[in-house]
């Protein structure tokens, strides 16, 4: 990848639980990044302004209106091919083996320390790979993403 | 008298006196019902039947002789089996078949029929010899067993389907409950974090912060349990390393070095929450007090098992216990003491010079 994004990253949050969306937004900002949009369903993501350019998306798997994060991941990869997608889910086993083109998963329930260290690790992996911090237990990188650092 | 009618003479023999043809006498007296038919006559009629045959069928000799064997058949006699007998007669071979036959009184019996041709010196079939055996009991028993087997198979099938449906329902319920536990734990953490951001009083904020870390420790315990292969066991060594890495990683303090040497310590999942909370108190405390004021240093973590006794050591190279107001009466200390007692662990604080050291020892299965 030639054009690596630099911190602060533009972050998209796709989460149907309002509390979790608020919490993740606060933690993303604590980590020094910028939340550019929030969405609760696939339809919300479809309706997003196309001038938005998210660098990183945190995507829940079970979403509002019967939609799911796997479809959202495909849509994000199609609309913003440079964006990184990280699933945030209570059911990591539901994520397909190829991560649907996504880059990793943060299993729920997450802790603040877990999410912050995951975010630091992802930031290193996105902006200045390979990451220098040890891989936190709170984040599992997709095999293809991890392989790109070698 | 034609030669083939010779055996008629045996009717007149007084076999009880041992005179006449001994073979004919044996055929008459045997308990096995027997008939002989004459294929040279029209419709292959019965020309001889013994006493046992009369007893079995309920007919007298006069009613039997001269008739074709088919008079024993009735509406429920299997046509295919009858066809087998007919084919054997036409092909002049022997045949063995179970037939449902009818007695004179209309009752039925299962007849194990054995029929074979009797040839003369030239090879011509001169008689058919047929023996019958009432095998009603055997056929009935087989029929009942087959019926029972079928009924049991149907029952097993129905039960299996019930159990599978019940299992599917329980699995769905379990997934649903599991999902809710995870989501609720996540939401409790989120609520506390959102609240903690809006508290101006630093003393209260720090207490809430500590509470948040305890809830987060529980969340991490739960996550590690469901992600492990055996949910009944918990690797407390890996959990401790996970905790230290997360706390240091989240602090963004690249000046704190982690020195970890951790073996797997498996405990039953029932002890996971208590041990997780104890370690959380110690680790967060070490980071807060051992490296306060931007002091850099090393946090040490050791986890080992020897002879049924596990030991987890957490140390810092900070100011040790002389440090400002190490809270001996705080909730954290109480939690460590009570939870240690609960899981049969012994907590020991020691001065390591430099720094403070905490050692938790507890028995484990060998």
Which residues make Cβ contacts (< 8 Å) with residue B235, sequence separation at least 6? B224, B228, B264, B265, B266
Q: What is the pLDDT of residues B124-169, one digit of tens each?
A: 999 999 999 999 998 889 989 999 999 999 999 999 999 999 999 9
Asked if residue B55 lies in contact with residue B155, where contact means CB atoms within 8 angstroms, the answer is no
- Could you tell me if residue A1 is inside a domain? no
CATH number of the domain within which B46 lies: 3.30.450.20
Domain count, chain A: 1
Instruction: Count the helix, strand and coil residues of chain A and give each as a percent rounded to the nearest 5.
Output: 40, 20, 40
- Could you tell me if residue B313 is inside a domain? yes
Q: Please give, rounded to a whole number of angstroms, the shortest distance from the CA of A51 to a CA of chain B.
A: 30
Q: How many pairs of residues across A and B have Cβ atoms under 8 Å apart? A: 99
pLDDT tier at A2 (50, 70, 90 boundaries)? low
Asked if residue A42 lies in contact with residue A65, where contact means CB atoms within 8 angstroms, the answer is yes
Lowest pLDDT segment from B9-23, B111-125, B281-295: B9-23
CA gap B251, B247 in Å, rounded = 6
Q: How many residues does the structure list for chain A?
A: 150
Asked if residue A136 lies in contact with residue B223, where contact means CB atoms within 8 angstroms, the answer is no
- Could you tell me if residue B221 is inside a domain? no
The whole domain housing B91 covers: 31-134
Return the structure tokens found at B295.
């002091």
CA gap A62, B133 in Å, rounded = 74
Q: Please give, rounded to a whole number of angstroms, the shortest distance from the CA of B192 to a CA of chain A.
A: 9
Instruction: Establish if A111 touches chain B: CB-CB under 8 angstroms.
Output: yes
The whole domain housing A110 covers: 10-147
CA gap B3, B9 in Å, rounded = 11
Domain count, chain B: 2
Closest CA to B116 of B39, B194, B16: B39
CA gap A20, A110 in Å, rounded = 10
How many CB atoms are closer than 10 A to CB A67?
21
- Domain edge (last residue) among B134, B162, B196: B134
Compare CB distances from A23 to B183, B194, B217 and report the shortest one's residue: B194
- Could you tell me if residue A52 is inside a domain? yes
- Could you tell me if residue B253 is inside a domain? yes
Instruction: Establish if B224 touches chain A: CB-CB under 8 angstroms.
Output: yes
Count each helix (H run) and each strand (E run) in chain B, helices first. Answer: 10, 12
What does R_g of chain A's alpha carbons equal in angstroms? 14
Q: B116 forms bridges with which residues in the sheet?
A: B129
CATH number of the domain within which A102 lies: 3.40.50.2300
Q: What pLDDT is recorded for position A28?
A: 94
pTM check: above 0.80:
no
Q: What is the pLDDT of residues B336-347, one digit of tens each?
A: 999 999 999 999
Quick check: B265 pLDDT over 70?
A: yes
- Domain edge (last residue) among B112, B134, B156: B134
Q: Do A20 and B179 touch (CB under 8 A)?
A: no
- Could you tell me if residue B94 is inside a domain? yes
- Domain edge (last residue) among B105, B134, B163: B134
Q: Do A111 and B191 touch (CB under 8 A)?
A: no
Percentage above 90 pLDDT, chain A: 55
Quick check: A147 pLDDT over 80?
A: yes
- Could you tell me if residue A4 is inside a domain? no
Compare CB distances from B250 to A20, A23, A116 and report the shortest one's residue: A116
Asked if residue B206 lies in contact with residue B284, where contact means CB atoms within 8 angstroms, the answer is no
Could you tell me how far CA B270 lies from the centroid of its own chain? Answer: 27
At CA A108, angle to CA B286 and CA A82, rounded to 5? 105
CATH number of the domain within which B344 lies: 3.30.565.10
Partners of residue A22 in chain B, C-beta under 8 Å: 190, 194
Quick check: B6 pLDDT over 70?
A: no
Q: What is the pLDDT of residues B215-244, one digit of tens each?
A: 989 988 998 888 888 888 999 999 999 999
Backbone φ, ψ for residue B122 (5° rounding): -85, -5
- Could you tell me if residue B176 is inside a domain? no
Q: What pLDDT is recorded for position B7?
A: 55
Q: Are residues B235 and B352 in the same domain?
A: yes
């Amino acid at each position: 990848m030639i054009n690596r994004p630099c911190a602060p990253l533009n972050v998209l949050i796709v989460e149907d639980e309002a509390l979790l969306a608020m919490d993740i937004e606060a933690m993303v900002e604590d980590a020094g990044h910028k939340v550019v949009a929030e969405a609760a369903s696939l339809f919300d993501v479809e309706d997003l302004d196309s001038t938005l350019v998210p660098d990183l998306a945190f995507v829940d798997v079970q979403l509002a209106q019967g939609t799911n994060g796997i479809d959202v991941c495909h849509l994000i990869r199609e609309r913003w091919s440079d964006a990184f997608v990280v699933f945030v889910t209570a059911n990591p086993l539901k994520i397909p083996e190829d991560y649907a083109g996504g880059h990793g998963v943060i299993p729920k329930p997450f802790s603040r320390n877990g999410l912050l260290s995951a975010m630091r690790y992802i930031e290193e992996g996105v902006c200045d790979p390979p990451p220098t911090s040890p891989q936190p237990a709170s984040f599992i990188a997709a095999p293809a993403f991890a392989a790109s650092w070698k | 008298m034609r030669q083939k009618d010779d055996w008629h003479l045996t009717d007149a023999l007084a076999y009880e006196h041992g005179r006449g043809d001994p073979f004919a006498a044996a055929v008459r007296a045997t308990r096995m019902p027997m008939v002989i038919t004459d294929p040279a006559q029209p419709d292959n009629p019965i020309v001889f039947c013994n006493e046992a045959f009369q007893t079995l069928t309920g007919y007298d000799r006069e009613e039997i002789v001269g008739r074709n064997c088919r008079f024993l058949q009735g509406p429920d006699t299997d046509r295919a089996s009858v066809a087998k007998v007919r084919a054997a007669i036409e092909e002049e071979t022997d045949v063995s078949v179970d037939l449902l036959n009818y007695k004179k009184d209309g009752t039925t019996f299962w007849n194990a029929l054995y029929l074979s041709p009797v040839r003369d010196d030239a090879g011509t079939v001169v008689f058919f010899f047929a023996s019958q055996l009432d095998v009603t009991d055997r056929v009935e028993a087989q029929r009942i067993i087959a019926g029972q087997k079928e009924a049991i198979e149907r029952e097993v099938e129905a039960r299996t389907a019930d159990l599978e449906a019940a299992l599917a329902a329980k699995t769905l319920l379990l997934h649903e409950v599991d999902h809710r536990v995870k989501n609720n734990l996540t939401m409790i953490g989120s609520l506390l974090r959102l609240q903690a951001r809006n508290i101006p009083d630093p003393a209260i904020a720090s207490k809430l912060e500590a509470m948040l870390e305890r809830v987060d420790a529980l969340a991490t315990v739960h996550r590690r349990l469901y992600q492990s292969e055996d949910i009944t066991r918990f690797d407390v060594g890996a959990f401790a390393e996970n905790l230290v890495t997360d706390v240091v990683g989240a602090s963004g303090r690249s000046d704190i070095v982690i020195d970890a040497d951790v073996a797997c310590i498996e405990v039953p999942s029932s002890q996971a929450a208590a041990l997780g909370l104890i370690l959380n108190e110690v680790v967060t405390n070490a980071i807060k007090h051992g490296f306060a004021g931007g002091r850099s240093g090393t946090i040490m973590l050791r986890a080992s098992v020897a002879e049924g006794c596990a030991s987890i050591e957490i140390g810092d190279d900070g100011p040790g216990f002389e440090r400002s107001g190490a809270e001996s009466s705080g909730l954290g200390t109480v939690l460590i003491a009570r939870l240690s007692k609960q899981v049969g662990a012994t907590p020991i604080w020691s001065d390591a010079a430099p720094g403070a050291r905490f050692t938790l020892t507890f028995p484990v299965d060998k």
